[in-house]
Amino acid sequence: MPNVVLTVDCEGAMHDRCYTSEYIQVFEQEFVPASWMVHVSLKDPSANTNLYYREFIHKIPSWHEMGMKVNFENERGYVEDPKERGNILWVAKDTLKSHMVKVTSVRAGAFALLPSDIPYLEEMGVLVDSSVLPDADYKMFVDWTGAPHEPYHSASDNLHKEGGNKILHIPVATHEGQYGYLDRGFDALVPLFEANMGREVICLGMRDYMDSAEDLRKTIRYFREKGAHFTTLTQAASEHYEHHEALAGSR
């Protein structure tokens, strides 16, 4: 039975349109939870947090999840310095906390997570990351070629390898270089769905500034016919622990 996680990159404050209301309607009608990854950037740290706090958080059911999507950038562009990246992460966490959002899940903007980011995220209490695009053609800042397709804990010096980091990575589903974001269209994604049907978790994404509401509905019904279990990133991490680490510790 497929275990499906649906995520939404919440960046509507930076764009002309925001389709969050349409997404909420589909999720409510289909009774499916989502992980809403609220975008924070030093260029305007509270823009999306304010938008969601004012307009949407009270409309999103409590059985959904609010996470954070962090762009490692400042006025000079992409940031590589570990300490500066750590500061960006703390700004993101505190910005969401000031709006009553306690973050346990994260996604790096442009999927650009680095090993130096992990200690900061662990200190913040983040449990799960969804920044990994295994073997995808998209390689703007990080090339995820060779990374695991299944949920895993990474090595301290190499996020492409399994190791002892506390945070669980739940990779975005990929197939033949493409990654599973619904703005590609339902029909184009069916081969990706089929190729990942045997995975522990099938993690898919949406962008709130692109209208994928009907493709979302089709995707939910497609996986429901396959007997899917829909869950959030953090709940998927909890279930992974119960099925793997806790079971192994009892032996």
Q: Per-residue pLDDT tens for 23-37?
A: 999 999 999 999 999
Across the range 68-73, mean pLDDT stands at 95
Residue 82 bridge partners (DSSP): none
3-state secondary structure of 168: strand
C-alpha–C-alpha distance, residues 180 and 230, integer Å: 16
pLDDT of 248: 52
Confidence category of residue 246, pLDDT binned at 50, 70, 90: low
pLDDT of 242: 87
| C-alpha 47: how far from chain center | 19
Would you say 151 and 169 are in contact if contact means Cβ atoms under 8 Å apart?
yes
3-state secondary structure of 12: helix
pLDDT of 251: 46
Distances 99 to 105, 148, 214, 223 between C-alpha atoms, Å: 16, 34, 30, 34
168, pLDDT greater than 80: yes
CATH number of the domain encompassing residue 30: 3.20.20.370
pLDDT of 249: 54
Residue 67 bridge partners (DSSP): 37
Report the number of distinct structural domains present in the chain: 1
pLDDT of 45: 84
pLDDT of 218: 98
Read off φ and ψ for residue 7, nearest 5 degrees: -120, 150
The H or E element that residue 203 is part of is: strand 202-207
Return all residues near 120 (Cβ < 8 A) that are at least 6 apart: 85, 86, 89, 90
pLDDT in tens, 175-230: 999 999 999 999 999 999 999 999 999 999 999 999 999 999 999 999 999 999 99
C-alpha–C-alpha distance, residues 231 and 174, integer Å: 19
Other Cβ atoms within 10 Å of 17 Cβ, number: 9
| C-alpha 179: how far from chain center | 13
Return all residues near 144 (Cβ < 8 A) that are at least 6 apart: 111, 132, 133, 134, 135, 136, 160, 171
Whether the pTM exceeds 0.75: the reply is: yes
pLDDT in tens, 79-133: 999 999 999 999 999 999 998 889 999 999 999 999 999 999 999 999 999 999 9
Domain housing 31: 3-249
3-state secondary structure 208-229: CCCCCHHHHHHHHHHHHHCCCE
Confidence category of residue 42, pLDDT binned at 50, 70, 90: confident
Return all residues near 198 (Cβ < 8 A) that are at least 6 apart: none
C-alpha–C-alpha distance, residues 199 and 188, integer Å: 19
Across the range 153-161, mean pLDDT stands at 97
C-alpha–C-alpha distance, residues 22 and 29, integer Å: 11
